[in-house]
Amino acid sequence: MTKQSKALVKFDFDVAVITALDAKYKDMQITDGKSYALVMAGIAEYRELRLSIDDMHKQLKKDIIEAGRSLDGDKNRLKGLLEPGETRLKEIRQVEDDRKDAIREDKARLERERTDAIQVKINGIRGLRIVQHNVASHTIEESLILLTGMKISKEVYMEFTDQAIQEKKESISGLEEALAERLQFEKDEAERKIEAERLEIQRKDQEAAQAKIDEANQVAAKRQAENDARMAAAQAKIDKENRKIDDEKAKIEAAKKAEEERKEKEEFERQATIKAEQQAEIGRIKAERDRIEREEAEKVEKQRKAAMAPDREKLIEWIQGFNETANPMPLVKSNKAIEILRIAKEQIEMILQDTMAKIQKL
């Protein structure tokens, strides 16, 4: 290829076109949709012009290999001229695209905040059904009244209205169930307290009754001691009489020694009579002692049997055991002693009647 031929294949391209293109879009800014479209059109013009240069370059290079380097240089030079304008427009477009992305993100954030706020309200409805341990029934009733009166509107809950209505229904159901359980618990607790108070009263009554029983046992023990003392005194009296008889016998025998034979039979009979009387007295005392011991044994057996009976029957039997047969009144002579004995008898009878009335209530 000659130099002349090489000259013929130079780029037939007017740089003024690029200059005009740069001038056209030099002050371009995006302010609205129309200006955005103009920027996009400018990018398209630059791109079309760049592509047309590429096409021209390819065609020339295909036919003239030797002119390739020159063409490449011209291509690069021309593209270098195009690049600032294209880059500037791309940067302008990127700024706008970033602004639109920021607007979209802000809208998305606002939407999230809106839906999150609604979900917080719905969670608040759901939270009302949660009842803490040992919460009083009136507190649950207040929550139920508050929840029942709560209005669910489209203006507030928007697309989540159905969800809010369902949560309200479920929360009301949960609170009603919790209220029923709490009311039953409070009823059971009140009954338990009443029963505890009743048992405490019963315990105190039983203690009071036992105290009276103990007191009566002490009186019985004292009476037994007195009986034992009387028996001991009686025995001492018998012993004294025996000693007296023995002394008298010795005196008689000494004084009437001479008449011993004559009165031997008489003395024998007299002594026999005396001894019979003594034996009779001893038998009477023994019988009295046996009677007391038998009565005491019967009393112990009666108490043993009573201990095996229920409390009410035990007390009734014990009260019925206080009578003049089991507890004979002592024989007194003075008016003062008789009056004391009468008052004591009346007071004992009043105590027994009052105690029997209380026993009948058990």
Q: Decide which of 120 and 61 is more confident.
A: 120
In the 8-state DSSP scheme, what is residue 328? P
Mean pLDDT of the chain: 80
- Angle formed at CA 224 by CA 222 and CA 227, multiple of 5 degrees: 115
| CB contact at 8 A, 121 and 164 | yes
Distance CA 226, CA 231 (A): 9
Phi, psi angles (nearest 5°) of residue 331: -90, 115
**Which pLDDT value is given to residue 68?**
62
Distance CA 6, CA 71 (A): 10
| CB contact at 8 A, 150 and 125 | yes
Q: Which single residue is written with the structure tokens 């025995």?
A: 235
Distance CA 339, CA 351 (A): 18
In the 8-state DSSP scheme, what is residue 257? S
Reading the block at residue 60, the tokens are 């020339």
Reading the block at residue 58, the tokens are 């390819």
* pLDDT tens per residue across span 317-352: 777 776 655 667 778 788 888 888 888 888 888 888
% of the chain beyond a pLDDT of 70: 88
Report whether pLDDT(358) > 60: yes
Distance CA 193, CA 195 (A): 5
* Residue 67: HSE in the Cβ half-sphere, 13 Å Cα cutoff: 22
* pLDDT tens per residue across span 102-160: 999 988 898 888 888 888 888 877 777 666 666 777 777 777 787 777 788 888 787 88
Q: Whose CA is closest to 156, among 127, 126, 115, 128? A: 115
* pLDDT tens per residue across span 173-223: 887 887 788 788 778 888 888 888 888 888 888 888 888 888 877 887 787
Look up the pTM and report it: 0.33
| CB contact at 8 A, 182 and 144 | no
Question: Rounded mean pLDDT of 41-50?
Answer: 92
Reading the block at residue 112, the tokens are 């999230």
Q: Which single residue is written with the structure tokens 């009043």?
A: 350
Residue 175, class by beta-carbon neighbours within 10 Å (0-12 exposed, 13-18 middle, 19+ buried)?
buried
* Type of residue found at 3: K
* Residue 205: HSE in the Cβ half-sphere, 13 Å Cα cutoff: 16
Q: Decide which of 237 and 50 is more confident.
A: 50
- Angle formed at CA 301 by CA 299 and CA 303, multiple of 5 degrees: 70
